[in-house]
Structures are given as C-alpha cells and as structure tokens.
Amino acid sequence: MTAPLFGQPAYEHLSPETRAVVGMNSKVREDWLYQMPFFAYDAMWPIFNEAMFLARQPRLPRPHNLLIEGPTNSGKSALLALIAAALKPGGDHALDHPVPVMLYKCASGVRRDDLVDGFLRGSGLEILPRRRLRAGDLIHYAPIMRLRGPRVVLIDEVHNLFSRAGSKHTVTDTIPTLRDLSMQCQVPLIAAGVKKALYAIQSDPQLENRFTVMRLPPLQSGAPFVRMLMAFERWLPLPEPSQLRQPAFAQYLYDLSGGWIGELKDVLHRGLRYAIQHQTPCLIVDLMQAAGCLSAKERRAVDI
C-alpha cells in the first residue's frame, strides 16, 4: 500500500480496504458493510469442527448428520458458507474427492420433489432426464450418487422443508425424503434452520437419532463481544474512530443486539447510514438513539 500523502489523514483505525472507501460517495460508504468479511469467533468452532468431522468420514450406510439451530440473524447461513468454502476443492479442509460439496438453500414452500431435483441436478450428473425429478427417482440414482455424488450436502433454511407457505402444519412427507437422501446416497447432511426445524426432526425418532443438534449461541458479553466490535469498527467507513469498545458503548450495543451477530450488524448499519447522512465523523450512543436503533424485541413490539 502506498504511504499517505503529506497532510492526508491515514485512517489507521480502519482496515486497508475500508481506508480506500472512506473518501467515496455516501452510497458506496452506506453499502460498505455488505462487503464485510466473515469474522471467526470462539463459539462457532465446535460447530465448524463437527461439520469437518462429518464431512471427512468415509461413506457410511447410516451417515450421521448435523443440525445447526439458531434464531434468525444469528449467523447460520454465514457459517454454512464458511463450511462450504473450507470443504470446496482447494479449500483449507478440502476432501480428497473430486466432487464438490453441495449447498442447497430451501426456498419457502419447498417440497420434497424440489429438494430431490435440486440435489440430483446439483451433482452435475449428465445422465439425468430433462423432466423435473421427483422424490421417487432418488432410489434409481442412489447407486451413482454413492459413487460420484457429493460427499456432504449443506442445506440452508431447512425449516422451510417442514412447513409450506401459508400453512402452520408440519409437512411430514419431507421427513422420510430427508432420511432416504442421506441413507441411500450415503451422504451426511449439514443443515441450518430455526427452532421449527429442530421440532420437526425431533418428531421423527429415526431422524432425531441420526442428527446431532448444535445451537449457534450469541456472542458472550465481555471480551468475545468486544473483539467482534473491534473487528466491525475497522469496516465502518467513518473518518474518526467510534470507540465501540468503550464499556458504556459496548454495553449499549450488547443490549440492542443480544450478542447476535446479524443484529449487531443491522444496528451498526443503521447508525452508519445516519452518521453519513448527517456528516457525523463517528458513531456515538446519542447518534445511535437518534438513528432509531432498536433491538429485535423492540422492533417486533413496534410491528404489532
């Protein structure tokens, strides 16, 4: 990186990437938090390590699976993406197998046929018919999937498999499909979802028995939370340091976010936008209040 010109601020409180953005127009700066990288934190490692353990097992007739459970905005999708990146060819934990890891995101209202179609097509097999594949096709393609299919399937928003849009009822026909997919194709599933997924899995003794459930916890207050604040602050394109780690500010942000990483990001994003629009050089508690930052609980209360 070139040295700052004489008289120009060095913005040493910012990451090198953010320094390049701090002088840019307000739109670029307001959107900058979308570019923020993933920050590792202690509580995620047991889950990450379990995922690596399952992925690296040989193909088993009765593979074990993992459910990462957590509330919305807790970082489940971000963690799945990290796991996928670590396992992909050339990644830090790449498998000695040419077939990439598959990441399937369940849209709302997804049906068992959609999952099977997405799974079989995502494997890149050229022999598949053009027509939409159905759950009943799984058994036909399972032998080749055992040979050439993915060694691990990551399923995001898995709770969407268990309830259709507009329906509060558990969709029980997806449970055997999930079980069959894992067992017939001998592939461990690493799924992420909210509590509804946990209840659905627990409703079926065979499925429950094949899943380890790990809850993604919030950041602990104190040092782990402060470390995350410091990492985030380096990505706030503001000309002066916000001192988020100061005890009163850190406590205010902890109370607002409950330690949930996505909530913290949302709150800081709102403060950042307000600071940019009002040409304020850094975040302070008064500004966050003026920006209307609310906790998730407060937001829900207002929504009612």
Footprint of Mg ion (CB under 5 A)? 77
With CB atoms as reference, the residue minimizing the distance to ligand ATP is 262
Residue 70 lies near ligand ATP (rule: CB under 6 A) = yes
Residue 38 binding: pick among ligand ATP, Mg ion, none (C-beta 5-8 Å cut-off by kind): ligand ATP
CB of 77 to ligand ATP, least distance (A): 3
Distances (CA, A) of 131 to 86, 125, 127, 137, 145: 33, 14, 12, 11, 18
Q: Which of 257, 182, 235 is nearest to 32 (CA)?
A: 235
Options 24-32, 83-91, 261-269, 292-300: segment touching ligand ATP (CB under 6 A):
261-269
Long-range pairs for 1-7: beta carbons < 8 A, 24 or more residues apart: none
Residue 218 lies near ligand ATP (rule: CB under 6 A) = no
Binding mask 197-216 for ligand ATP (x = CB under 6 A): --------------------
Amino acid identity, position 278: H
Q: Is 17 helix (H, G, I), strand (E, B) or coil?
A: helix
Q: Give the total of residues touching ligand ATP (CB under 6 A).
A: 16
Amino acid identity, position 75: G
How many Cα atoms sit within 13 Å of 118 on the Cβ side? 19
Residue 53 lies near ligand ATP (rule: CB under 6 A) = no
Options 50-58, 68-76, 172-180, 201-209: segment touching ligand ATP (CB under 6 A):
68-76
Q: What strands, in cross-sheet order, belong to the sheet with 65-69?
A: 102-105, 153-156, 189-193, 65-69, 211-215
Residue 53 binding: pick among ligand ATP, Mg ion, none (C-beta 5-8 Å cut-off by kind): none
Residue 259 lies near ligand ATP (rule: CB under 6 A) = no
What does the block give as tokens for 228?
Answer: 């995350």
Beta-strand ranges (E) seen in 60-101 are 65-69
Residues in the site for ligand ATP, rule: CB under 6 A?
36, 38-39, 41, 70, 72-78, 194, 261-262, 265
